[in-house]
A = this chain, B = another copy of it.
Amino acid sequence: MKQSILNLVLSSSMLLAVATHAGDKVDYPDGYRTWTHIKTMVLHKGHPLENPFMGIHHVYGNAKAVEGMKSGRFDDGTVLVFDLLEYMTSDNASTEGDRVLVGVMVKDNSKYLSTGGWGFEGFAGDSSAKRLVDDDGKSCFDCHAAEHEHDYVFTRWRD
């Protein structure tokens, strides 16, 4: 009888754990525009990642992200932002246009163990509510897995 109750309690805990995991949504990175700008890149038409990443993107990081860039390991609490804008060229000058999406990686080894300790999310345009990732970051992680020696982060610090 005691064993049955214990089993019941354990099962409930596990269900709760799974439920909590599924609810671990990545927050919109409020204030990231004043965080450290790490690097910029432009993906043009014809690039393998043009859908959905065509345009000019800036990568921003909070203080822990900047530390991690230098050591190659990122502590829990690290937040990296991939800020994608339209990229327009005329008269031999290219400028930034409307925001396409805001991609976010948040490090939390307990919450996001199955995706390398990183939570992934995307927010459409200027919205902090319209979410773009619907598979708990599995498809994001499939691509980032190639960077396992740099804690699954593509971006490198440059001075």
Contact = CB atoms under 8 A, between A and B. Distances in A.
A89 B36 CA distance: 25
A44 B158 CA distance: 22
Given A37-B37, A47-B91, A58-B37, A159 B96 contact: no
A89 B41 CA distance: 10
Contacts of A60: 37
A148 interface: no
A23 interface: no
B37 A96 contact: no
Interface string A21-52: 00000000000011011011111111100100
Contact of A158 (B43, B96, B159): B96
| Among A40, A47, A158: residue with most chain B CB under 10 A | A40
A6 interface: no
Nearest to A157: B33
A31 to B, nearest CB: 11
A81 to B, nearest CB: 11
A42 B87 CA distance: 10
Contacts of A37: 33, 37, 58, 60
Interface string A130-159: 000000000000000000000000000011
A157 B56 CA distance: 17
B96 A44 contact: no
Interface of A: 33-34, 36-37, 39-47, 50, 56, 58, 60, 66, 89, 91-96, 126, 158-159
